[in-house]
Amino acid sequence: MNTTKAQILDGKALAKKIQSDLQQKIATLEPNIGRPPGLAVLMVGDNPASAVYVRNKEKACSRVGIASVGKHFSAQVTQEELTAEIHRLNENDRVDGILVQLPLPDGLDSVALLHEIDPQKDADGLHPVNLGHLVRSETGLRSCTPAGVMKLLAEYNIALSGKKAVVVGRSILVGKPITLMLLEANATVTIAHSRTQDLTAVCRQADILVAAVGKPEMITPDMVKPGAVVIDVGINRVTDSDGKSRLVGDVAYDAVAEVASYITPVPGGIGPMTVAMLLSNTVLSYQEKMTI
């Protein structure tokens, strides 16, 4: 058992540092390119959580000098209208990154829309072409949340080579890409999921444990090897008995912090890193304009 509490992996502080670097980079590039980078965020309907995320992204854009080209559609918008808008943005020379804010209302196919985005403007790094680059360890735009996790681990000099990593969750958003990124860093990776037998035993083998399932406080101290690095990707809104709502991760933070050596908080861990990597991807696409 740890005698000291786990060190916090501060995603908020690192995200600020990345944003400040991006701000300087944009200030240097803009006179040559003749315009600021542009990020288009498409939001559909009135999901309150999505509205908060979009607002945060727009604020972050204005902080670093990215022009935010937000488009808000009613929940009644058709698949065809959204597809046509993506095609317009693909052709727009002032737009370097395109993002469809998920989840979409029922009846809309988010995967089909994702396929319509020009891979070079895929700010979320989720287009099959970009995921293919990741599988082949080629350069390309990377999925924002997993890329943010890797950046945070690197910032704290956490060794991955030869370590056992367990990823709980197999989504295309986080579970699968983070597995590939950890493999690329020479970790030995196990993916666990809802059908995994004896999940506790599997998790306890991990030197690095990544929780990305979307179940509040599912990872408890008995599932964590003493001294492990615990990365909590979950963001869940729960309501207390007194009716107050708060954000919690997939990890029972206070109890697990007694066992782990490093841990990410929720909020303030991976969330800000995801936004920072979204801005990074946009600036990366923008920079490409210099070489064309």
Provide the annotated binding site.
169-171, 235
Q: Quick check: is 57 catalytic?
A: yes
HSE (side-chain half, CA atoms, 13 Å) at 89: 31
Q: Residue type for 178, please? A: I
- Grouping H, G, I as helix, E, B as strand and the rest as coil, residue 238 is strand
Check 101, 122, 163, 250 and give the catalytic one: 101
Helix residue ranges per DSSP H, 2-135:
11-33, 48-64, 79-91, 110-116, 128-135
Burial label, 1 (beta-carbon count in 10 A; 0-12, 13-18, 19+): exposed
Length of the chain as a residue count:
292
Check 57, 121, 151, 176 and give the catalytic one: 57
Check 96, 124, 207, 250 and give the catalytic one: 124
Q: Quick check: is 71 catalytic?
A: no
| Known binding positions for NADP(+) | 169-171, 235
The single residue listed with the structure tokens 């943005």 is 89
Contact 124, 177 (CB under 8 A): no
Q: Quick check: is 17 catalytic?
A: no
Residues 6+ apart with CB under 8 A from 263: 6, 7, 8, 9, 229, 230, 232, 251, 253, 256, 257
- Grouping H, G, I as helix, E, B as strand and the rest as coil, residue 170 is coil
- Grouping H, G, I as helix, E, B as strand and the rest as coil, residue 262 is strand
- Grouping H, G, I as helix, E, B as strand and the rest as coil, residue 168 is strand
Catalytic residue numbers? 57, 101, 124
